[in-house]
Structures are given as structure tokens and as C-alpha cells.
Amino acid sequence: MSQENLDELLNLAVQCAKEAGKLIVSAINKEKKIQTKTSSTDLVTETDKACEELIVTKIKDLYPDHDIIGEESTVLNSKVHLTSRPTWIIDPIDGTTNFVHGFPYVAVCIGFSIKQKVKLGVVYNPILNRLYYAKEGGGAFLNSQRIEASQCTDLTKSLLISEWGSNRKPERLKKVQENFNNFLTCPCHGIRSTGSAALNMCLIAEGRADGNYEFGIHVWDYAASSIIVEEANGVVLDVTSGSVDLLARRVVAAGTKKIALEICANLVEIQDERD
Ligand code: IPD
Ligand code: CA
Ligand code: CA
Ligand code: CA
């Protein structure tokens, strides 16, 4: 795909994210219709669905032959079909729990892949007006300013980010806690959770934190943000220290390879069914 075509697709992704962002802004302080999905801590609102519909309609209109994977149009617990074909990967609201509570860390995520490789990504927080974007080989940007990941190489001087996730089955939660404990006793300077996997990744891209890991996420949570981290000269890996696997439901991101590898080395693995 030519650079011009990639630019066109990036512009479309930005436009879609901004329009969906307007829906989020107008709804965040109002009463919401909330439903649960796989458990009482896995939420969805009518705004998640409306944002996804808006984005999908706009993309289909211009690129009817592209494939689309969207969180809210994916049947629960079904397999995701990420093929070699041009594919849009959409999370209409990353941070639905935050949205429900009016906590201002929510983002529209739109990624685009070919041959299972992400070519561009947009992550937009309409509440704090932060638009992150990147395309392959073009650097990463926040509101038009180039961003760079941190240079930190010492885990004991690092600020990390991770999440508890919405799956609170006791056995699983024990391992999540074990991982938090490992890094807190290392000791890193601290561990933060924003409640948005994509914004966590973007904080790594921006150099506001040094390392991030999460298990249990889905392809729409980290497709768009993974290229933003890479284009900010950060590192994105699978927890096994190998290349990131978009369907493996886990990711490690860091400013430097050293921190990324040290995170991998210290993690207790959590097995979630692949997307
Ligand atoms: C969730 C958020 C959260 C992460 C969960 C995701 P959603 O996405 O990214 O930070 O811990 O694993 O499912 O459901 O709000 O789009
Ligand atoms: Ca969700
Ligand atoms: Ca998400
Ligand atoms: Ca979502």
C-alpha cells in the first residue's frame, strides 16, 4: 500500500475517532443504559454501540471490501478472524467502566492491518482532548506533536502501568496480584492503572511511564496503540519476549528493550483463550 493511501486511511480513522468522540462527550455526564456482557464487571452502554456503528458505517461506505473487527459486533466468546486482508480493528470505547463512572480515561481506538501487521493506529481521548496517532515508518504523534518513549533502563527506577482486568475469577486474580507484588517488591517506583489498556500504551509512547503489561486484553484493545508505541521508538513484545501476537490477548510495552525484557522475565503467565 502506498504512503498516499495510508495517509488517506489515517485521515479517515482520525475523522471517525473525532466523530465518535463527540458522542462520548455528549453522553459521559448523562444517565446511561448499562448492560453486562461476560460478567458483572464487563460492561457495555448504548454509547459503545452507537460509536461502533458510526465508525463501521463510515468505513464501509468508503471501503466496502475491507474487513472490520469491532468489539461490540463480535459475538461474545467467539473467535476473531484476523486474516491477511486489509482489516480495520475497532474498540469504540476503551475504558467503558471509566465512561460509566465519568472517569476521564476513555478512548476510541481504530487500527488498520494488512497481513496481520498493524499499519496505522489512532487512539483518541475526547474528554481530555488527546489524539494519538501513528502510521508505519512515520513516527508517533500526540495532538500533532511528535512523541518519544522513555529511555529508562533500570526497572528499580521505573514507573509501570498495568490493569486488574474485568475477569475476577479467584485463581486468575491471584496471578494478577502476584505480578503486581513482584514489581512492587522489585521495587519499581510505582504501578498505575488508568482503566484503559490503549491509553496505558499511549502513556508509554509518550514517555510518561516506562513499562506496561497486561493479560486478558483483546486485539481491539492493543492493535491501534501497539503501532503508536513502536513508532515512538518504544518496544512491544509478547510476554514470552518474542514478537507481539495480536491474538494472544497479552502484551508488554516499554520505552526500552531492557525494561520490556525484564518485565517479561518477572511475569507469572496467565493463560487466556486466544482471540
Ligand atoms: C478494557 C480496558 C481495561 C482492560 C480490560 C479491557 P473495554 O476495555 O482496556 O483497561 O483492563 O482488559 O477489556 O472493555 O473498556 O473496552
Ligand atoms: Ca468491553
Ligand atoms: Ca477495550
Ligand atoms: Ca470497548
| Percentage of the chain modeled with pLDDT above 70 | 100
Looking at the structure, do residues 109 and 164 belong to the same domain, yes or no?
no
In the chain, pLDDT over 90 holds for what percent of residues?
A: 97
Whether residue 275 is contained in a domain is answered as no
The residue whose CB lies within 8 Å of the most ligand 1 atoms, and thus the one to mutate among 196, 251, 272, is 196
Catalytic residue, chosen from 91, 210, 214, 262, is 91
Q: What pLDDT is stored for residue 264 in this prediction?
A: 98
Is position 262 within any domain? yes
What residues form DSSP beta bridges with 161? Answer: 192, 212
For residue 2, the Cα-to-chain-centroid distance in whole angstroms is 26
Q: Examine the domain organization and report whether 219 and 141 are in the same domain.
A: no
Q: Nearest-CA neighbor of 217 among 47, 126, 94?
A: 94
Query: What's the average model confidence in pLDDT over 16-34?
Result: 98
Instruction: Ligand 1 pocket test: pick from 51, 52, 90, 217 the residue with the most ligand atoms within 8 Å of its Cβ.
Output: 217
Closest CA to 256 of 217, 215, 204, 208: 204
71 as an active site residue: the answer is yes
Asked if 88 and 137 sit in the same domain, the reply is yes
106 and 231 in a single domain? The answer is: no
Which ligand ends up closest to the CA of 100? 1
Same domain, 74 and 159: no
Q: What is the mean pLDDT of residues 181-193?
A: 97
C-alpha angle 104/108/114, rounded to 5°?
150
State the closest ligand 1 atom to the C-alpha of 195, by its place in the atom list counted from 1: 10
Alpha-carbon distance 43 to 38, whole Å?
8
Q: Whose CA is nearest to atom 11 of ligand 1?
A: 165
> Does residue 99 fall inside a structural domain?
yes
Q: Which of 146, 177, 200 is the last residue of a domain?
A: 146
Report d(CA 265, CA 32) in Å as an integer: 42
Which residues are close to ligand 3, an ion, with C-beta < 5 A?
Answer: 91, 94, 221
Domain match, 86 and 118 both: yes
Residue 188 lies in a domain: yes
99 with 28: CB under 8 angstroms? yes
The answer to whether the Cα torsion of 39, 41, 47, 52 is positive or negative is negative
The domain that holds 160 is classified in CATH as 3.40.190.80
Could you tell me if 161 and 41 lie in one domain? no
Quick one: which ligand is closest to 219's CA? 3
Q: Is residue 65 part of a domain?
A: yes
Confidence grade of residue 4 (pLDDT, cut at 50, 70, 90): confident
Residue 154 CB: number of other CB atoms within 10 A? 12
Number of domains in the chain: 2
For 128, residues 6+ apart whose C-beta sits below 8 A from its C-beta are 104, 105
To test the ligand 1 pocket, which listed residue (42, 43, 71, 166) has its Cβ within 8 A of the most ligand atoms?
166
Q: What is the dihedral of CA 246, 250, 255, 260, to 10 degrees?
A: -120
In our burial notation (b when 16+ CB lie closer than 10 A, e otherwise), range 162-193 reads bbebbbeeeebeeebeebeeebeeeebeebee
Burial 221-243 (b: 16+ CB within 10 A, else e): bbbbbbbbbbbbbbbbbebeeee
Look at residue 131 and tell me if it is in a domain: yes
Q: How many CA atoms lie within 13 A of 114 on its CB side?
A: 11
Overall average pLDDT of the 171-192 stretch:
97
The verdict on 9 and 141 lying in the same domain is: yes
Range of the domain at 102: 3-146
Q: How far apart are CA 253 and CA 161, in angstroms?
A: 10
Query: What pLDDT does residue 3 have?
Result: 81
CA 198/CA 206 separation, integer angstroms: 12
Does 95 share its domain with 181?
no
What is the CB-side half-sphere exposure of residue 9 using CA atoms within 13 A? 25
Which ligand has its closest atom nearest to the C-alpha of 35? 2
**122-140, pLDDT tens digit by residue?**
999 999 999 999 999 999 9
Nearest CA residue ID for atom 2, ligand 1? 196
Res 6 pLDDT > 90: yes
The predicted pLDDT at position 77 comes to 86
Do 197 and 115 share a domain, yes or no?
A: no
Of 97, 41, 86, 78, nearest in space to 62 by CA? 86
- What does the pLDDT look like over 87-118, one tens digit per residue? 999 999 999 999 999 999 999 999 999 999 99
- 271 domain residue, yes or no: no
- Once rounded to an integer, what is the mean pLDDT over residues 60-72? 98
Beta strands of the chain (E only): which ranges?
34-36, 43-45, 67-70, 87-94, 107-114, 117-125, 130-135, 140-142, 145-146, 159-161, 190-192, 211-215, 235-237, 250-254
**Residues at CB less than 6 angstroms from ligand 1:** 71, 91, 93-96, 163, 165-166, 195-197, 216-217, 221
Does a structural domain hold residue 189? Answer: yes
Residues 232 and 161 in one domain: yes
**What integer pLDDT is reported at residue 1 of this predicted model?**
78
CATH classification of the domain holding 7: 3.30.540.10
Question: Is there a single domain that holds both residue 14 and residue 135?
Answer: yes
Q: Do 128 and 259 touch, CB atoms closer than 8 A?
A: no
Domain boundary among 103, 121, 146: 146
Among 90, 123, 146, where does a domain finish?
Answer: 146
Widest Cα–Cα separation across the chain? 52
Q: Give the cell for residue 186.
A: 522489585
